[in-house]
Structure 1
Amino acid sequence: MSGRYPDEVDVVIVGSGPAGATYARILSEEAPALTIAMFEVGPTVSQPPGAHVKNIADPGERSRAQTLSEGPHAQESTDRVGGIVKTSQRRARPGTFLLESGYQVEGEDGLPVAAMSSNVGGMAAHWTGACPRPNASERIALLDADGSLDRLLDEGERLLGVTVDAFDSSPYAELVRERLAAAEDAGRVASTHIQRMPLAVHRRGDGNLVWSGSDVVFGDITRSNARFTLWDESRVARVLIEDGRAAGVVVTDRRSGENSEVRARFVVVAADALRTPQLLWASGIRPDALGRYLNDQAQIVFAVRIRDLEPSGEADAPGATGLSEYSGVTWVPFTDAMPFHGQVMQLDASPVALAEDDPAAPGSIVGLGLFCPKDLQSSDRVEFSDVETDGYGMPAMTVHYRLTPRDREVIARGKEEIVRLGKAVGEPLDERPFMMPLGASLHYQGTTRLGASDDGDSVCSPQCEVWGVPGLFVAGNGVIPTATACNPTLTGVALAVNGARAIAAKSAES
């Protein structure tokens, strides 16, 4: 994790989240002769590097790992407060940090709680692990015609360690699914019935849950690859372009302040959907679609108490990660007729104060969340300044973002649907559902979207190579070109598999 940067490698990967880790893993498997340098702007906060912080048993150590992930000023602040709350106050979830400015332009909706993480493993050290497959209009038609999308999704599930049985012992999981199915399954095809959520999590032999982070994506084959090295606290400031193609990067050691050039045949920018286009912009790589088609998923939440429930003596004690398990995680799949993706799971605490003598059984408070797809428009975008900089010294961002009339109609319908589904499970704890501040989903997409041709509406090819810049690849959720409601990580990893294989093939030809 330390030492002088190499002068030259075959592949540079910028960012250590699941998409960047996918490039390292696939290249380690399919092109093991290549030398790979991965640079991460944030620190190492967990072991093995990139592991999910939920796997840290000690609450104090877990909190410290989250704090260290909270951006360029993480170690300077003494009053950081995580957790988005139901007020007008802007707060970040633990392990993330908000845009300090530029998150909302006057007269627009903006993304008031747009957030990022800076740490080895990226947001995958803090995520919920939900890995549903896209369905219907969420799917990428360009990759769907020959069945390649499903093959890539299969690979994504392998790399992320996706399972559906981790919560099978939860005492209320089947009850929740049965009640939701009775209210929702009619008219749905079997593949979109109410079901267990695919999760990047598995259960150890001692019964404790292990959540997947980038460490799982790396796998032993990457960690044992002597030609792969990961440098943390290393800020890539610019991609080098020579003779029209990627030639390496300029990287700053954040500990010493030393600047270095690292030459490479291929460069993969896998920062996130906000910082990947930022780095391209800073490098003078500015295709028309860069930063455009930015989309978030409006998130509606509702809470109920499971109806007619006898207290269960099971799952009373939290596991090593402090999580009690009662109702599991249930999936309401997206369909074009029901354009929402739903997650239903036990809440750690009731959002409504309960009386001390309230007989609610432990684990009986269930949260429902519906994610709404965005009406895509080119004008929803992140712009970058040529003058002002952010806390890392990179071009400052300004978000332009508006909900369309169609978006507002979908959100209004989502509020009705979540109440209907909630009442099927139990008794509502509040009269109305709540829409989280825009940006709360952390599912930003579209800013480096792929396309069939260099027509000005896409940044990269289906193999994720930037149009007009051979050897430069982009990765992560920003590459997804469709309006999705489902969690995007699985799809982002699947697309990274496609790009990594393209590099392996090109390297074999040269």
Structure 2
Amino acid sequence: MTKDFPACVDVAVVGSGPCGAAYARILSEQRPDLDLATFEVGPLLADPPGLHVKNIADPDERQRAQLRSQGPAPAPADGRLARPGTFLLPDGYQNPGEDGLPNAAMSSNVGGMGAHWTAACPRPGGSERIDFVPDLDELLDEAERLLGVDAHAFDDAPFAAEVRKRLGAALDTGRPEERRVQPMPLAVRRHADGRVTWSGADVVYGEATRANPRHTLHPEALVTQVLVEEGRAAGVLVRDLRDGTEHQVRAARVVVAADALRTPQLLWASGVRPPALGRYLNDQPQIVYAVRLRDVQAAPGGAAAPSSGVSWVPYTDDEPFHGQVMQLDASPVPLVGDDVPAPGSIVGLGWFCVKDVRAEDRVTFDDTCDDAYGMPAMRIHYQLTERDHASLDAARAAVRRAADALGDPLDDAPRTLALGASLHYQGTVRSGPADDGTSVCDPVGQVWDVPGLHVAGNGVIPTPTACNPTLTSVALAVAGARHIARTLPLEGR
């Protein structure tokens, strides 16, 4: 890290979340001859950069890190739910007559949402898969390497096997073997002494990036514009949020890996406005429930012990949703009231549904009104369709079947969270096999008609998905980074 901004680099990366980190990692490994710079609008929270806040042992320090991630403006006092470490859109999240995304949220910090996520890394299946990426499975393998994914970290949790046995008996009939109930792959490391460390962008960066003297990380650096000259990306304009000064950084390649809302915002502010920009926005409507396991003894170690592990009910095309079943206090959203204890025998169920992907669902940008960063304000247009409501009904029925198999529900009925609560926004800079107006970039993230400009993150995913998107978006970032490593000559600066 440095306070000095370079005048010129080979590759400028906007955003330090898992996908921006994947670009820096792959380029550090494959092209150590390149000068790389990463610009992050938020502050550095911990050392190493990008550390997951769960790994901060002191609870007061952890809370301070979460608060520092929550953007430049006070949280709106309107009753909407914001998870620790995130901040909500203050307005523009719902238009008259539409469902909107009331819980649309972001994080601003080194590591991005990767400092706060659940670390779930399931593989897509069925129509979740991107059929025009022929090497998708190898890319997913590489994404698992970068994220440090382990499907068996909590296999020894006292109730894990029993939870999966009961879920499988209720839900596995008719499913292909590879899509039956199984342990959730998690970006987590279980140590010999029982300690657990969760992967953030720090794990994706790895020693290859941290030891690379030609990579610099610049926190509190707002990229306000991608410079485009003679039709191609030529660098970025950066505002130092510590003193307000502006700096031009020339670059042969620019990678915008902000998030699914701020990546299209930056392209819009830069005058890069392909027809699909901001369109095909999709979230994963989320249903939650909680249950006390039937016929089990209280697990040793109390609520802090990993009693239930994390189980996965994969998406299938016949059942277009995916489920996570985990110990109650591991849930990122509240599942029951504060007065209910969280012993190890209580588990939470979270079901995520696919969204009917439509061009009408979109984020637009208001050039006449600025957000708290001085960028064009966001306006969300979003509506659930009849097919979406049918998926939600089917998911509620599946959650009830799972709950009945496990034990005694703590609430009368599953609860549907406000749209946006999943934080899994996708599609706004979607990839495609051809420049036909329905996509923003090609399969390696290269923006159509703007050579040298790449996009990355969940927004690149073009398919309707129910599974957690991070593994897929990192896999696509690997493809983009490899493309740059292969095609960028040193003299291309």
1:377-396 pair list within 5 angstroms? 377-396=358-377
CA distance in 2, matches of 1:80, 1:278: 21
Q: CA deviation at 1:354?
A: 6.5
Residue deviations 1:24-46 (CA, integer Å, cap 9, x gap): 00000111100001000000012
Q: CA deviation at 1:80?
A: 8.3
- Kindly tell me the number of residue pairs found equivalent between the two proteins: 487
Distance 1:168-1:284 versus aligned 2 partners, 3 A rule: same
Q: CA deviation at 1:188?
A: 1.2
Stretches of 4+ aligned residues off by more than 6 angstroms:
none
* Secondary structure of 1:281's aligned partner: helix
Q: CA deviation at 1:206?
A: 2.5
Matched residue, 1:321: none
1:119-138 pair list within 5 angstroms? 119-138=109-128
Is it true that 1:336 corresponds to 2:314 in the alignment?
no
Q: CA deviation at 1:3?
A: 2.0
Matched residue, 2:175: 188
Matched residue, 1:237: 224
* Secondary structure of 2:336's aligned partner: coil
Matched residue, 1:179: 166
* Contact 1:309 1:361 survives alignment (8 Å): no
Is it true that 1:351 corresponds to 2:336 in the alignment?
yes
CA distance in 2, matches of 1:468, 1:185: 46
* Secondary structure of 1:367's aligned partner: strand
Which amino acid in 2 is paired with 1:285?
V
CA distance in 2, matches of 1:276, 1:7: 23
* Contact 1:352 1:430 survives alignment (8 Å): no
Residue deviations 1:461-507 (CA, integer Å, cap 9, x gap): 01100000000000000000000000000000000000001111111
Q: What is the aligned counterpart of 1:262 among 249, 253, 277?
A: 249
Which range is displaced more, 183-192 or 25-34?
183-192
Matched residue, 2:203: 216
CA distance in 2, matches of 1:238, 1:274: 15
* Secondary structure of 1:248's aligned partner: strand
Is it true that 1:62 corresponds to 2:62 in the alignment?
yes
Residue deviations 1:143-194 (CA, integer Å, cap 9, x gap): 1xx4x00000000000000001211221111110010011111211110111
* Contact 1:19 1:475 survives alignment (8 Å): yes
Q: CA deviation at 1:361?
A: 8.8
1:14-33 pair list within 5 angstroms? 14-33=14-33
Q: What is the aligned counterpart of 1:277 among 253, 264, 287?
A: 264
CA RMSD of aligned residues (A): 1.5
Q: CA deviation at 1:362?
A: 2.6
CA distance in 1, matches of 2:27, 2:413: 49
Identical aligned residues as a percent: 61
Matched residue, 2:239: 252
Which range is displaced more, 340-349 or 301-310?
340-349
Is it true that 1:326 corresponds to 2:292 in the alignment?
no
Matched residue, 1:152: 139
CA distance in 2, matches of 1:176, 1:170: 10
Q: What is the aligned counterpart of 2:95 among 93, 105, 123?
A: 105
Residue deviations 1:361-393 (CA, integer Å, cap 9, x gap): 931111111100000100000000111010000
TM-score (norm 2): 0.96
* Contact 2:430 2:439 survives alignment (8 Å): yes
Is it true that 1:483 corresponds to 2:473 in the alignment?
no
* Contact 1:352 1:429 survives alignment (8 Å): no
TM-score (norm 1): 0.93
1:322-471 pair list within 5 angstroms? 324-348=305-329, 351-352=336-337, 362-471=343-452
* Secondary structure of 2:150's aligned partner: coil
Q: CA deviation at 1:459?
A: 0.1
CA distance in 2, matches of 1:201, 1:279: 32
CA distance in 1, matches of 2:463, 2:206: 30
Query: Runs of 5+ in structure 2 lacking a partner?
Result: none
Q: CA deviation at 1:205?
A: 2.9
